[in-house]
Homo-oligomer: A and B are copies of this chain.
Amino acid sequence: MTNEEIQLQVLEMGRKARAAALELTKLSSETKDQILLAMADELEAQTSAILTANEKDLASADELGLTDAMKDRLRLDETRVQAIAQGIREVAELHDPVGEILKDWTRPNGLRIQKKRVPIGVIGIIFESRPNVTADAAVLCFKTGNATILRGGKEAIHSNRAIAAALQAGGEREGLPEASVQLIPHTNRESVRHMAEMDQYLDLIIPRGGASLIETVVSLARMPVIKHYDGICHTYVHSDADPDMAEAIVINAKTQKPSVCNALETLLVDAAVAETFVPRIAQALAASGVEVRGDERFRELADDPDVRLAEPDDWKAEYLDYIIAAKVVDDLDGAISHINHYGSRHSDCIVTADEAAASQFQLEVDSACVFWNSSTRFSDGAEFGFGAEIGISTDKLHARGPMALEELTSYKYLLFGDGQIK
């Protein structure tokens, strides 16, 4: 395809998606849930077609240079397809926030104003590797009445096509408006650019993938982008921390699942307790198989030759691995300024028994989720009780932190008059 043909194809998908979005606003919650259940059923019914498509993707994986971890994320089997279908059924069970009246008031002139929750419109999702994103993202956007244009990576194109086809076939049987869920059927790089420039049709783009994908989308996009950047999460052990609690929280936040964005990456220890806490936590981290990269003070107190000296880049690292950066800070202000300087505004924690210190930390740390005496691993839509999430936003506009159904909606004002003029 020429670049012009790709552009025309993307524009035509945009035009159809906009029309679909207007139709979607008319569907009741019940109808949407029936469509979701039909999507789940059809996905299961098409398991063998999906697995055959997935085999094709896996056959190209070596050629595309995928690591074993990437291949594992790409691989589908019967259980994983069932899990995707089950995920869709769970979304059908969730409360639909669309239509909620957020405010309702009447002005002195008699004009009544309602602020009503509505779908955003058309959402573009650009994602990499995991084919389950095709279903997860499309389904959350559809539940909230949004049309989607999905653009996956080339490593999963056959799987993505098969999954999208099943969602469309199942949904249309129950009245899903045409073009509500569209997948760009190829993976030409230019399609990302055309999506990002199509602000007449796309209301929002959500890139789900690594930093370089997000960077590309941000630099091209004319419409809002909600970014799910790194989680450089901190835990600060205050002078008034219970050392047992602090150790349990640090070990849990670092080791319970190191590969995720809400895992701990940097430990800050208050100088007032460093002499006793640093040797203890250094030992506990080593016993859990965690490599420690400490600043001078931390290394000296740890008195362990395995604690490496941290390089400047360690303070900005999202390791996603059994590695932790560790630093002794002078006091609460030192901890807060370190986090605001090096952090990624994702999730940070203070361990302390001092309520005033905790309040100051929660006020001044500029992050989406600020914890007091808890593992940062709870920074998650499911743990918040949201039922599902599309990611953890590191942005401050529209959606911050765990982004679930409500964050996939906008609002409009309805005004009820009886002839008011100005």
Contact = CB atoms under 8 A, between A and B. Distances in A.
Nearest to A398: B398
Given A203-B397, A369-B415, 14 more contacts: A25-B364, A107-B385, A113-B384, A204-B397, A245-B419, A256-B422, A362-B414, A366-B412, A369-B412, A369-B413, A370-B414, A372-B417, A374-B417, A378-B420
A121 interface: yes
Given A222-B219, A396-B121, A421 B111 contact: no
7 contacts: A21-B366, A25-B364, A203-B397, A373-B416, A397-B397, A400-B411, A402-B413
A413 B107 contact: no
Interface residues of A, number: 65
Contacts of A248: 419, 421
- By Cβ-Cβ distance, the 9 closest A-B pairs, closest first, are A374-B417, A252-B421, A398-B398, A396-B410, A224-B397, A377-B422, A374-B420, A373-B417, A245-B419
Interface in A357-414: 362-364, 366-375, 377-379, 383-385, 395-398, 400-402, 410-414
A249 interface: yes
Contact of A412 (B105, B199, B400, B413): B400
A112 to B, nearest CB: 9
Contacts of A398: 224, 397-398
Given A252-B422, A415-B371, A363 B26 contact: yes
A276 interface: no
Contact of A256 (B224, B400, B421): B421
Contacts of A219: 222
Contacts of A63: none
Contact of A120 (B242, B368, B397, B420): B397
A218 interface: yes
